[in-house]
Amino acid sequence: MPKNILLVAKPWRGGLSNYINRALKAFPNSNVNFVSTYPDSPLEYLNYKINKKDWHDKIVNQINDSKYDVALFINSQSSFTNLAHSNKNILWLTDGAKITKNELNRFSGVYLSDLGYLKDLPHRDNFVSGLPFAYDPIVHSPMPSRRKKRFCCSIINKDLNRDEWLKKSNIEGVMPDVYGNYFLRHRLFWRNPSKFHKTLKIYQMGKVYGQYEVSLNIHSSVIMEGTNMRSFECAGYGIAQLIEMKPGLEALLEPEKEFLGFSDIESYVTQFNRLKNDSKLRIKLVENAKKRVAAEHTYQHRINTIFKNL
């Protein structure tokens, strides 16, 4: 296993860089250094605004001068024009991320969170495999919950695909409680304001899921294959899931055993009502999904995959 590891990523509010950082540090004798590809302090942000090129050049020089056994980049930066090629550089492209041929050539191994974007790679010479998202057992674990829970919630942000599903679910009378930036900022909110709630901080999600029986996961438009982070996180939080089907999703979680899936409004309504009327089904889905993600879908598993392929 590599000892000196460089993690190069944005300090996302969504937490991905934190999850990967924690998974890397769990390896015995590992020495992990984090390099942020976006300002993570007021002073750094000021320097970034004054001269973005100089700021990025400083980061690239820091990476090039570092001594490491492996560097894991989560997405690439087009501004990193001076990044040196190294057979120790590994790239994980997450859904929708773009990359040029010159950028791609700086990495010896490339992974995709969404295999639907494989066709968009400038070449496949250094492509290794798909690498789905996962969950962090420390963060995504069941929290104290209400004795009497509400039925269905969806923690999502605005997206055209989600707009369509929410409109249809509202018409059919099977709309979830929505948490996210629809609140006060979208026409759907003004049509049914009682169903919309403010955006949550990441540390608040578990508490909200603990108040509901079911999580509705509608994928954003950038998801082409597989699924997003939420499917794995909700399995960890211990809430039954109703998930929009995508190609390849069934290879990650098993429909009817670990979640219920839907692909049109008719199947959505049917599955919604099945979950509403069958508490034993909800319990089965929760228990099976929790076992599956613990066995296969932690960020530790993702790092293991990368290290085995070095």
- Asked whether residue 14 carries a pLDDT value surpassing 70, the answer given is no
Domains in the chain, ordered, with CATH?
4-131 (3.40.50.11930), 150-296 (3.40.50.2000)
Distance CA(278)–CA(276), nearest Å, equals: 6
Share of residues in the chain with pLDDT > 90 (%):
90
pLDDT bin (cut points 50, 70, 90) of residue 87 is very high
Share of residues in the chain with pLDDT > 70 (%):
99
- pLDDT tens across 207-263, in order? 999 999 999 999 999 999 999 999 999 999 999 999 999 999 999 999 999 999 999
- pLDDT tens across 166-220, in order? 999 999 999 999 999 999 999 999 999 999 999 999 889 999 999 999 999 999 9
Residue 266 to residues 50, 160, 166, 269, 272: CA-CA distances in angstroms? 53, 20, 14, 5, 10
| Of 146 and 132, the one with more pLDDT | 132
Distance CA(292)–CA(235), nearest Å, equals: 8
